[in-house]
């Protein structure tokens, strides 16, 4: 069994069929449940468990490529280091799910540095294909699925990472083991403030606050930690353009109408919330 397949060798312990919820096991190059529902494992090492009726993503391959470059530059390492510190200090965490993982930067880094059992998914097949190609260790279990119906078994995860992504707290509760954790990372009002200043007149929500997101989090979970992490990063011209193309903040802004030449640095700031049910 090659490495692209062997990472799914224990699938029957964790995965359930997205159609009938029965356990799935690896047979040949596929994950198959006892009712015969079959999902092929890509030659890149991921499995598409997204049903045809699921919603589509608004992100493009170009956006994920730019995001990959920005993350590899280390611009969000302040977030990564905080998450790794928490996981490393919590030995009860073995199985980790990264939801809305995009091109997989955090999942890959966490697996490499903590040796935990990492599962990661995104709604975008293009993102997961990039993620699996970049996974040189072939250790993360990559899959494509919808946030509202995650094809993993009840109580199978010890920690769920929700990093700058939407959340589905009832689904998270189903997936978590007793005393499991949700780690949610959300931008603060200072995050990317240099960009916000330049395009303030074009933003639907120029005076951003994350408090409504925090309140929603605390509606479902008991917050055991809330910490703000912050860094100022310098930008080369190449990094500046990658960031402008990558950030969702500018998805509805006419970027060509802005003079970006004076954008030489950025504030990266986020609240890291850790909660339990």
- The pLDDT, as a whole number, for residue 57 is 62
Binding-site residue set: 17, 20, 33, 37, 76, 103-104, 191
Rounded mean pLDDT of the chain? Answer: 93
Binding residues for Zn(2+): 17, 20, 33, 37
Whole-number Å distance between alpha carbons of 263 and 137:
36
Tens of pLDDT, residue by residue over 84-124, are 999 999 999 999 999 999 999 999 999 999 999 999 999 99
Structure tokens, 59: 């992100």
pLDDT at site 188: 96
Identify the burial level of 41 via C-beta atoms within 10 angstroms of its C-beta, where 0-12 means exposed, 13-18 middle and 19 or more buried.
buried
Lowest mean pLDDT among 38-47, 50-59, 191-200: 50-59
For 40-95, the DSSP string reads EBPTTSEEE---TTSPPP---HHHHHHHHHHHHTTTTHHHHHHHHHHHHT-TT--E
For residue 193, give the 3-state DSSP assignment. Answer: helix
**Positions at the binding site for S-adenosyl-L-methionine:** 76, 103-104, 191
pLDDT the model gives residue 224: 98
Report the pLDDT value the prediction gives residue 58, as an integer from 0 to 100.
Answer: 59
Each residue's pLDDT tens digit, 20-39: 999 999 999 999 999 999 99
Cα–Cα distance, 125 to 100 (Å, whole number): 11
- Confidence check: pLDDT of 45 > 90: yes
What is the topology classification, in CATH, of domain 45-276? Rossmann fold (3.40.50)
């Amino acid at each position: 069994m090659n490495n692209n397949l062997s990472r799914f060798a224990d699938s029957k312990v964790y995965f359930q069929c997205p159609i009938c919820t029965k356990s799935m096991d690896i047979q040949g190059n596929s994950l198959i449940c006892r009712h015969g529902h079959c999902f092929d494992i890509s030659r890149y090492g991921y499995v598409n468990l997204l049903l045809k009726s699921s919603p589509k993503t608004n992100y493009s391959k170009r956006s994920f490529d730019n995001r990959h470059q920005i993350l590899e530059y280390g611009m969000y390492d302040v977030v990564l280091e905080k998450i790794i510190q928490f996981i490393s200090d919590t030995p009860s965490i073995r199985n980790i799910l990264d939801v809305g993982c995009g091109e997989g930067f955090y999942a890959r880094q966490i697996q490499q540095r903590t040796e935990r059992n990492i599962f990661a998914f995104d709604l975008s097949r293009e993102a997961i294909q990039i993620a699996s190609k970049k996974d040189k260790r072939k250790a993360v279990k990559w899959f494509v699925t919808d946030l509202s119906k995650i094809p993993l078994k009840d109580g199978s995860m010890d920690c769920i990472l929700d990093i700058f992504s939407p959340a589905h707290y009832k689904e998270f509760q189903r997936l978590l083991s007793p005393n499991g954790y949700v780690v949610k990372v959300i931008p603060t009002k200072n995050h990317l403030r240099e960009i916000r200043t330049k395009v303030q007149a074009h933003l639907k929500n120029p005076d951003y606050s994350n408090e409504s997101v925090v309140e929603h989090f605390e509606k479902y979970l008991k917050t055991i930690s809330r910490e703000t992490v912050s860094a100022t990063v310098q930008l080369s011209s190449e990094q500046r353009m990658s960031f402008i193309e990558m950030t969702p903040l500018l998805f509805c802004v006419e970027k060509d109408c802005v003079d970006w030449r004076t954008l030489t640095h950025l504030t990266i700031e986020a609240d890291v919330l850790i909660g339990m049910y």
